[in-house]
Amino acid sequence: MHELSSLQAGLPTTSARRRPRVLYFIVAYPTFSETYMHEEIRSLVGEYDVKIITYRRTASPRLESFPYELIEYSDPCLVYGKIERINLEMNSPTQEEFLRKVGAVIEEFKPDVMHGHYLGLGLLLSKLAQRYHIPFTLRTHSMDVLSEPREKLRAFCEAANSAWCLRVLAFPSNRHRLLAEGLSSTKTVSCWPVLNFARFYRPEQRLRTGRVLCAGPAIAKKAHGDFVDLAASMRESGLSFDLYSEGPQLKDTRVKNDSLGGPVSLKYADPDNMPEVYPLYDWLVYPSDTQINKVGLPVVIAEAQAAGLGVCWQELPGRRGEQLDFLGGGGFLFRSISEVPAMLLRPYPEEMRQCGFAAAMRCDIEQHKGLLSEMWHQVPERSFPSNLTALDV
């Protein structure tokens, strides 16, 4: 049963006005590489009572997370699954059992609003919204929009067009893609990736360290083997190369690194420790697989910019404009890893470093969390029935 909050938009929480309750849905929380989800929650828990539901176990968790409840989902994943295998009606026996378990959480927590990460979770949230009369918001990212088949995007956009959906946040270039596939222009707004800027900001001038960094999950689209090739090609440069990573492709990267004599030091740091890692380096090099072409707007780049590092990023087919927009003048694009040595051997221009600070600031969650909170605070003012249960729908 959905209980309406008496909180009025813009007014402080008092004993008579409880804090709004937000039920989060994340596919595999607390995966270490999905820092943007964690930082969004970290920024909002002071204003909202948050409960997190995740439906897939993660093999690579961060060290510390917010409390969450795992309700496993056995059907094809609503985000990563092939569209022809996903039951869009959400009415298979296993899906109904999953909805029943989620419904028990809803009955107990009594959320005012639901929020999901990745466009595909709109299928789930629209179903729950119809059943329990609870509005929802969505934040999209990269892999759920880039290179997805049109029929999949169209199905997801149709779900997000639900009358219960308050807002969909999308990267600026991705917003146009979603509008082209039918998402209502009144529901979607542009938003840069999520960064806790203050944790990474290092404006002071530093002496050069002679160290080069690459970081990110070890998955095929990140092309970490190219970073190994770069390090091997620069053995005599005096620079050192470190890769911070974890994931299924790390074994292959280690094999390649060993075969070339170990030019890269393979490391790992928990996301909460990365603000201390970046200042040890002069450069971030971020390769990508140009054939897969599913690297979106990596938060690692914004983190490095905030820390004052130089950035070298793989240019991707058909994506140059959006990549340059994201860099904001604070970094270089390269077409081949063979172009990077000349970049690393030159001092990073101070003008580009300053542009990097400004570009990273656009991602600061403290600057744009209002895109969510302004919608969440409108919920109590909306006229939702307070006496409906799933049986009424």
Domain with residue 112: its CATH number is 3.40.50.2000
Q: Length of the chain in residues, anyone?
A: 393
In a domain, 222, yes or no: yes
In a domain, 210, yes or no: yes
Whole-number pLDDT of residue 11: 36
Please tell me the pTM assigned to this model: 0.90
In a domain, 35, yes or no: yes
Tell me how far apart the alpha carbons of residues 117 and 283 are, in angstroms, rounded to a whole number: 30
Which parts of 134-245 are beta strand (E)?
136-139, 165-170, 188-190, 211-215, 240-244
Positions in the chain whose pLDDT score sits under 50: 1-16, 381-393
- The answer to whether residues 386 and 3 touch, using CB atoms and an 8 Å cutoff, is yes
Same domain, 189 and 201: no
Same domain, 67 and 102: yes
Whole-number pLDDT of residue 17: 58
Tell me how far apart the alpha carbons of residues 222 and 244 are, in angstroms, rounded to a whole number: 12
Whole-number pLDDT of residue 388: 40
Same domain, 150 and 242: no
Q: Which residue has the tokens 């927009």?
A: 325
Element (H, E) at 112: none
Which parts of the chain are beta strand (E)?
21-26, 49-54, 68-70, 113-117, 136-139, 165-170, 188-190, 211-215, 240-244, 264-267, 283-286, 310-314, 332-334
What six digits make up the tokens of 354? 């300053």
Total domain count for the chain?
2
Same domain, 255 and 350: yes
Three-state secondary structure call for residue 331: coil
In a domain, 2, yes or no: no
DSSP bridge pairs for 23: 51, 114
Tell me how far apart the alpha carbons of residues 182 and 154 are, in angstroms, rounded to a whole number: 6
Question: Of 281, 289, 287, 239, nearest to 264 (Cα)?
Answer: 239
In a domain, 6, yes or no: no
Same domain, 183 and 208: no
Q: Which domain holds residue 165?
A: 21-194+366-392
Same domain, 109 and 216: no
Question: Could you write out the DSSP letters of every residue in 252-314?
Answer: HHHHHHHHTT--EEEE---GGGHHHHGGG-SEEEE---TTT------HHHHHHHHTT-EEEEE
Same domain, 338 and 317: yes
In a domain, 12, yes or no: no
Same domain, 176 and 203: no
Same domain, 352 and 373: no
Same domain, 130 and 210: no
In a domain, 330, yes or no: yes
Question: Of 40, 75, 79, nearest to 371 (Cα)?
Answer: 40
Whole-number pLDDT of residue 5: 32
How far apart are the two ends of the chain, measured CA to CA in Å?
Answer: 12
Same domain, 81 and 131: yes
Same domain, 278 and 168: no
Question: Of 181, 147, 286, nearest to 223 (Cα)?
Answer: 286
